[in-house]
Structure 1
């Protein structure tokens, strides 16, 4: 949200550690992909993948390990689109450090989605068997146009895998309720998997959805002066300092919403709903 660097990365990593989000994404990949891959690979002599907004590559590497286990004898090529040079370097380091990935051909594009689209339109488009977008559609100006463009890059019988925050999650309730206060920094709007489904329906595309419930313990957010709670609130609202960024009335209302509408309370712990959705879109 506020740029993948410095203090933001610390907050982001803190969120990942506390929420176990990567494990939830892995569960979605494990459930959705393997049954499809055998059918996708039938009769193929190679398999091509496009990762859009791949970040540091952790989830891409996991996905590729699944691909290699299901398609052990088929050469795999991967094209990566990620605008952050630092995160792309992280991804390259993961590849260099993994002997199992040495047989995969990588092509790196340190550009935004819009810049990549311009590149593709200027030449004959390469088609892909699998395209994945993991937690990245928040950052594009026109999600519907982005979905249409990348769906158009699928080969016959190809699949587009989208993993995103679920409809009606705590994230959606928080960001849509306080849109005028929150959508003024990195994001100008908030998008949930429910919004993405509306756009897929409008485009007439076929897809299946799998939702995995997940929660984040945000109890510390309600203890004044708690540093862990402060870090979570900064990340969840995309601000450098939650307490100085909003009026006391807005802060109070946000905290009430987080506790009563975005979360459930179990054994005195406040558990924020950060469930994720996987949408598998057919060519």
Structure 2
């Protein structure tokens, strides 16, 4: 790609947002970006609103920021909303509704792109499955959820997944709608 576009540079930052920002400040960096991509990552931020504000500030005029996240209307999005209530309204569990609300509050024009997926969730019902336990952790964004989560909440999550998945050839598939929310900074 760089042979075709010699002006194009790319950096992959394998760090948390907070770690990157601390290193950036320490190094006195002030460069801006043409493109920032956040894929299912905002729930891992200490303060996602601050992160979004910072991402926008880091864009060059005409630069684009994209965030991929579950649709609030999808099965995964509905699970997130229910789980927030079951776990005591965790503010770090987000859906596309939260990001769109942020964009509207900031009066940012944005574009929405939709991608449909079917997720094989069969393994979440097998408590001995490492893959199933990792998927369960991902669905509720809580590490070792089956082992450390409240048993009544675990039952509610598993019931929700079972009720909202389709069975086909002995496997359970849950539909998910991933939303890409893209904002382009004004020039």
TM-score scaled to structure 2, two decimals?
Answer: 0.77
| Alpha-carbon distance between aligned partners in 2 of 1:224 and 1:251, rounded to the nearest angstrom | 11
| Alpha-carbon distance between aligned partners in 1 of 2:93 and 2:66, rounded to the nearest angstrom | 20
Q: How does 1:1-283 map to 2 (within 5 A)?
A: 65=1, 68=2, 72-83=4-15, 112=19, 114-115=21-22, 118=25, 125-179=30-84, 181-182=86-87, 189-222=92-125, 228-237=131-140, 238-240=142-144, 242=146, 245-247=149-151, 249-261=152-164, 263-266=165-168, 269-283=171-185
Equivalent residue pairs, number: 184
1:281 shift after superposition? 0.7
| Alpha-carbon distance between aligned partners in 2 of 1:239 and 1:149, rounded to the nearest angstrom | 27
* Gap regions ≥5 residues in structure 2: none
| Alpha-carbon distance between aligned partners in 1 of 2:44 and 2:21, rounded to the nearest angstrom | 11
1:204 shift after superposition? 1.0
| Alpha-carbon distance between aligned partners in 2 of 1:276 and 1:196, rounded to the nearest angstrom | 13
| Alpha-carbon distance between aligned partners in 2 of 1:145 and 1:111, rounded to the nearest angstrom | 10
Q: Which residue of 2 aligns with 1:62?
A: none
Q: Which residue of 2 aligns with 1:5?
A: none
Q: Which residue of 2 aligns with 1:37?
A: none
CA deviation vs aligned residue, 1:66-98 (integer Å, no higher than 9, x gap) = xx58xx2432223444326xxxxxxxxxxxxxx
| Alpha-carbon distance between aligned partners in 2 of 1:73 and 1:227, rounded to the nearest angstrom | 42
SS in 2 for 1:272: strand
TM-score scaled to structure 1, two decimals?
Answer: 0.54
Segment of structure 1 superposing worse, 229-238 or 161-170: 229-238
Bigger RCO (CA 8 Å, 6+ sep): 2
Q: 1:173 to 1:159 in 2, by over 3 A?
A: same
8 Å contact 1:161–1:278 — kept in the other structure? yes
CA RMSD of aligned residues (A): 3.2
